Structures are given as C-alpha cells and as structure tokens.
Structure 1
Amino acid sequence: MEFSESVLCVASFSRSPEQAAAELRQQLTGDALDLVLFFCSAEYDLTRLASALNQQFEDIPLVGCTTAGEITPQGYGQGCITAIGFRRGRFAVAAVGVNELHSFSLTDAQSMVDRLISDCRAKEIAPIKGNSFALTLFDGLSIQEEMVLASLNAALGSIPTFGGSAGDDVHLTNTHVFFDGQFHSDSAVVLLFNTACRFEVFSTHHMRNCSEKLVVTAADPDARRVLELNAEPAAVEYARAVGVELSELNHEVFALNPIAVKLGDEYFVRSIQQVNDDLSLTFYCAVENGIVLTVMEPGPIIPNLQQQLADIREEVGEPQLVIGCDCFLRRLEIELLGICDEVSDILRDNRVIGFNTYGEQTAGMHINQTFTGVAIGPCPEGGHADE
C-alpha cells in the first residue's frame, strides 16, 4: 500500500499567517479528513493565524500548539508550521480541550475519557481496546502537567498515552494550545486516536548517569523551584557539580549537564529552566524536598535515535508516520554538536512529524530531554480491524 493512504504530512514555511494557512489547505486535499493536527512557531501573529486556519479549514476539526521548533516532512524547521491530516475511514480522532488546569479532577478526567471514547466508537473504525492511543498537548508554562496527567492516566486505564508541552521559540513567556478555533493559554487538549493501523508509543533518551548526587534540601514544589541542593544555594551547588562557574549557567550548560531522578531502574531527567536572582533553580518538571538527583552526561545521541527507530520498525513495520515530541534541549545539544543536518535527515527518512517541546509526557509522567511519540505502521486492507 502507499503510506499516504492514511495520513497526509505537510508544511508551510511562509511567515504570513494567511499564506501559511492557505498553503496547508492546498496540500491537504483528497479524501475527507477526520482531523488536522498542527505545530506552529510562536513567532506567528496567533490571532491572525487562528482566523486564517479557521477560514481555510472550516469543515475540518483543527488541534495544535505552539513550539520551540518544528519537525516537518523535510526534517527540522524553525519559524514555520507543519501539519498532519488523518483520513476519515482510517482514523477516528476525537479531541477535548481543558481550561482551568489547576482545578482538573479525576471526575473531570473520567468524563472526558468517556466522551472521547464515545466519539471515536461512533465512527466504527476499530474496537477501542488495543486500537487506541491518546495524545496530550499542554501549555508549556502552565506548571500543571503532573497534576492533570495523574488523573488522566487513571481514567485512560490501558490506553497508552504520550504528548508534549507547547513552546514559544525559547522565549519562556507565552505558550499556547489550539482547540475550538482559538489559541489558549493555561490550557491543554487531549486527543484520542482510534485506528486499525499498527502503532507503538515509545520514549527514549541518551543520558548516562554519573556518580555525583544532589539532594533537594529546600524546594517550592508548586513553582517547580529548588532553593537548596545539599544544603547549599541550588545554583551554586549545581555549578560546582558540573564543573562550571556560576556566571556560566545557561541553556547550553543545562542541555549538556542534565540532572535526573531515579525511579525503579530508570532515570528521568528533570531539566533546569533558569537560574533565579536568589540563586534558586526553576525546573521544567516536578521537584520536591528530599528527592535525590543524579548528575547525568549525554551519550551519543544519533546511535540512540537510530536504535529507537530501528526498534519501531521491528514492532510496527515501516512507519507511515511517527508523531514526535522532541525536547528543545535535545535540539539545542544537536545544534551545539553541529549534527543538525544529519539528525534532520534521519527524522525525514523515518517520516517523523512533530515539534520541539518544553517537556514530554508518557505513561502519565511529565519528563524532559527525551524523544517521545507514537509510530504508526501500515493499516490492513480495508482499514478496519477485526472485532
């Protein structure tokens, strides 16, 4: 079969919101689409872009978010918009937006999941169990991912889930998700995909642990802020542990010297967002008093990525699409290493479409410095799974 039978992957590199929306619509033609998922630069005038997208796709549901960089059909992009059209009859996709994240409860999650399942089931694509996965997109500056994910993961049960937190080209000021025809802040959107195509949700990172340990001895968990590490000002102790001067701390140092928490046998990176005036550190993920953080060092990023993509092909066959949530600190590391073109080619050759995030989500957890997503393989002839 042609891999384009189920999905259409397109991009526009125009900086004009109106032209970009028109170019996306021109490319997303053919069979009726059940939904269009897009990832766009925050450099666009979002009010104009929303209006243009609504005009071009008035008959097709649209969901998306702003980014810290885009992954297009040609590989890495910047300052552009990339989109995926899911063809009706191959996919049933339902989406529900969440406002007021701080008050989201397990009851809200269960109601949402019931609605998503009902909407997908009505389209009669495949049985829900074993043929569905969920995607979460969050306002990347909301500081609410962990709380919402805990409730949502419980409600989804055995349905695998992954996602990413919206970025804003590393300005750290305004991040947005798009649903119901508008860009929203302090919000999230949850999508349920039901398909007969084979798929696999995955997450990988290339970090290796060192022996240096940092204990959080004072923290403000609600603000994701660490005040002290090993009873010293957090920024001072982190700088000492990674061997740099306090004045040298920046995104590049954070990308190349991450710290992680160990859960079971796995390490999960807790990326640092910024140094504050009081020498505390603000993180992209949850932190709390008493946790032990391990200083990590990057391993070879390309072999790790290639192995993950090889594992995907073993699991689902040649992918027709990989939706990728790629931490912006990984992309920064790739750029610092001068291997951006090589990685971009790998993403293109493996049909990865997605965005650079302010954090990734998998299995109900909010994590950092990973490449997380779903690989969608071939569909059976006729597009329907057996009951």
Structure 2
Amino acid sequence: MHEIKTITAVSKATDPAIASQELYQQLNKANISFVLFYCSSTYSLYTLAQNMERTFTDIDIVGCTTAGEVTNQGYEQHSIVAIGFSSQYFAICATLIESMEKFDTITAQSTINELVENCQSKELTEIKNNSFLLTLLDGLSSSEEQFLVTLNSAARAIPHFGGSAGDDINLTKTHVYYHGNFYRNAAIVIMVNTILPFEVFTCHHIKRPIEKLVVTDADAANRTVYELNAEPAALEYAKLLNVDLKDLSPEVFSLNPLAVKVGGDYYIRSIQKVNETDLSLTFYCAVDVGIVLTAVEMGDIFSPVTDKLGEISKRYGAPELVLTCDCFLRRLEIEQKGLEARVKTLNAQYNIVGFNTYGEHTNGIHLNQTFTGVYIAGGLDE
C-alpha cells in the first residue's frame, strides 16, 4: 500500500467554520502531524483563527495570508490551500518571532538552537544535510532584509527559502498565523527535517538589462524612491516606458521591472505603488540613495521553471511535492498573457503547491518576481 507522505487540501468555502472543517476532513489522515496553510485575506481572520484552533486540536498548524493561492490544479483566489506532512517522513518544528524589528543575532541563534533541539527530539534523522528552513514574514514590514540576513547568519548553512505574506493586493495588512492567532509585524521560522531527498531552488526570467536609472533621493526605511536620475521617480519611470503617469499600475510594474546587480546577477526590486502626492515610488524590497536600478527585458516566464524542475527531477526522481513561493507579479504577468492553462499543466505535473507572495526569501536574500521553493522527491516506497 502507498503510504501518505504529504497531502494537499483546498477549500473554497467562504465561511471560516466550513472551510476549517473541509480542510480537516481532507487532512485528517494517519500520521499527519503538521499542517502548513495559505489563506486569502478576504476571510474574517479572527473567526478563521478561532475555527482553525478549534478544529485542528491534535495537529500543529501554521500559515499566512496570500496574494493568491497556488494549487496542483493551478491558481486559486479567495481560498485556503493547506499541506499536511506525515510524521513518518518529516519532523517539523515552528516558532513565532513576534517582532521582526527586534530580531537580533542572539535571538536568531537561540531560535535555530531551539528548532534543532525540537526536531532532534523527534528522532527521525540527522539534522545536517536532511533539513531546510522555511520562513513566513509579514509582507508589508520593512524589516524583511535585516531579519533574513540575521537569521541566515545563525542558520549553520541549512538551506532556506520562504515567502512574504500578501493581502490580495490591497497593500494594507498582511498576517502570519501561529497557534490560534494571526499576527502582524511578525515572522514564523519553520525547520523541516526529512528522510526524503530535497533541493531548495530559486529562478527568475530576466533576459537582459536595458537601461540604467540612479536613485538620487530615497527614504530607505520606507523603501520609497523620490527621485531617479534627479527627476521625480514615477515621472522618470513612466518616461522610460513611454507611458502616461496615470497608466502606471501593478500590471505595468509586473511586465516592466527594475533590478539591481549583485555579484554579477540581477535581482528584481519590484515597484509596489506610485505615491501621487510627490510622484515617488514605493518598492517591495530594499532601496537606497546611490543604487543603480536597471530596467530589464523579461524572457519566457515558464522556461526557467520547467528547466529547473526538469533538472532536479533527473537527479532525484519524481516529486512528492514542490512547495513554492511564487511572486504575485509573476501571476499578474501570466494572467495578462492568458497563460493560466500552462500553470495548471505544470502544477499538476510536479505537484506544485504554495502561495503568491509579496516577496521571496532564499538563503538570507529578499527577492521579487521569482519562483522560489523546495523540490521534495518521493524517495523509494517500502
């Protein structure tokens, strides 16, 4: 008999009580001891938290709000997707960091020590080479970069990926969920120790650089650029694209991103919004005076993902699960180009599950417009 290693559940019920019950019915299988969920921010989060706590009494459960849900059947919206993990294949521990701003090196070290000890106590397999970290962060905090750098310094080279919570592109409040409550300005760090082969990966579809813009005035703390090339930032960006200022939107941002060059590679710094009062631009990632932002041409959005997953599957065999943090700006591009059917095909082929994020994390770096995740191979069944 094929033993359950992971199981995915989806609920489109709008009533939190019904949604919680539907998820529990799908996930309540032998040995499922940990559940990770991603939910739309359209739910009453207080009511959802109460129902999740009441329903999943015997299962450890954490999660966050999204800018869209990703299932093995394609993209969803206004739903909840949840993944259950079997204790026979996974030892998983999670901890809440209530204040990202106050997260320092000592806290990072004690966080990692605690996670390692808790996973070791489950006596599944060695931590080294058999573990990865997953982070869920408040996607509207401006402390993500510092948090990730600090965590990475303590992570003992354990591979790490994650995503920043969304709120259905409302840009007002994003939340993480831990032990019966939704939190803001908070982070969840999860350690996954497993006997299954896995690989953490990230990919983007930047094709080539086009034109450079220098940040000449900015507020780094609020990720806001006032001037590019000594001109109002939004005006200069609109001029670069040859579009009217009034036409700037998330859809335009997704197709025309700006990137920074770090160590020979380009990393996208996605624009969040235009601030009409002063024509500044607010970003999802760190920006500061003096950095060079490069307008980039994007290539085919699917090729890097299919190449990467194909390459990993050759090494490790068929996937059990590909857990992904997929930037919502990639989703906007896919929807604008009418490519949702290709997402369905790809997600079904590799059992891709996760959420659309306001930012992705990989080994201490905060990214935008990437497809980042972990490929967990099926391993050999007994």
TM-score (ref. length: structure 1): 0.96
Instruction: Supply the distance in 1 between the matched residues of 2:214 and 2:208 (Cα, whole angstroms).
Output: 15
Matches within 5 A, 1:254-265: 254-265=253-264
Number of the residue aligned with 2:278: 278
Number of the residue aligned with 1:137: 136
- 1:124 Cα offset (Å): 1.0
Instruction: Supply the distance in 2 between the matched residues of 1:205 and 1:367 (Cα, whole angstroms).
Output: 10
Instruction: Supply the distance in 2 between the matched residues of 1:316 and 1:216 (Cα, whole angstroms).
Output: 44
Q: Deviations over 1:139-173 (max 9, x none)?
A: 11111110111110010021000000000110011
Paired letter, 2:265? E
Number of the residue aligned with 2:11: 12
1:43 counterpart SS class = coil
Q: Deviations over 1:291-330 (max 9, x none)?
A: 1111012211122222122122123211100111000000
Number of the residue aligned with 1:118: 117
Instruction: Supply the distance in 1 between the matched residues of 2:208 and 2:274 (Cα, whole angstroms).
Output: 23
Number of the residue aligned with 1:385: none
Gaps of 5+ in 2: none
Matches within 5 A, 1:307-346: 307-346=307-346
2:101 counterpart SS class = helix
- Does residue 1:128 correspond to 2:106, yes or no? no
Number of equivalenced pairs: 381
- Does residue 1:63 correspond to 2:62, yes or no? yes
Q: CA RMSD in A?
A: 1.2
Q: Deviations over 1:264-317 (max 9, x none)?
A: 121100000001120111000000111111101221112222212212212321
Instruction: Supply the distance in 1 between the matched residues of 2:95 and 2:316 (Cα, whole angstroms).
Output: 28
Q: Is the 8 A contact 2:317 2:379 kept in 1?
A: no
Number of the residue aligned with 1:213: 212
Identity of aligned residues (%): 50
- Does residue 1:359 correspond to 2:330, yes or no? no
2:373 counterpart SS class = strand
Q: Is the 8 A contact 1:10 1:73 kept in 2?
A: no
Number of the residue aligned with 1:227: 226
Number of the residue aligned with 2:179: 180
Instruction: Supply the distance in 1 between the matched residues of 2:320 and 2:380 (Cα, whole angstroms).
Output: 13
Instruction: Supply the distance in 1 between the matched residues of 2:165 and 2:195 (Cα, whole angstroms).
Output: 29
Q: Is the 8 A contact 1:316 1:375 kept in 2?
A: no
Q: Is the 8 A contact 1:234 1:279 kept in 2?
A: yes
Instruction: Supply the distance in 1 between the matched residues of 2:112 and 2:267 (Cα, whole angstroms).
Output: 27
Q: Is the 8 A contact 2:234 2:245 kept in 1?
A: yes
Instruction: Supply the distance in 1 between the matched residues of 2:302 and 2:99 (Cα, whole angstroms).
Output: 39
- 1:381 Cα offset (Å): 5.3
Gaps of 5+ in 1: 383-387
Q: Is the 8 A contact 2:72 2:344 kept in 1?
A: no
Number of the residue aligned with 1:87: 86
Q: Is the 8 A contact 1:28 1:85 kept in 2?
A: yes
Number of the residue aligned with 1:373: 373
Instruction: Supply the distance in 2 between the matched residues of 1:251 and 1:359 (Cα, whole angstroms).
Output: 14
Q: Is the 8 A contact 2:45 2:182 kept in 1?
A: yes
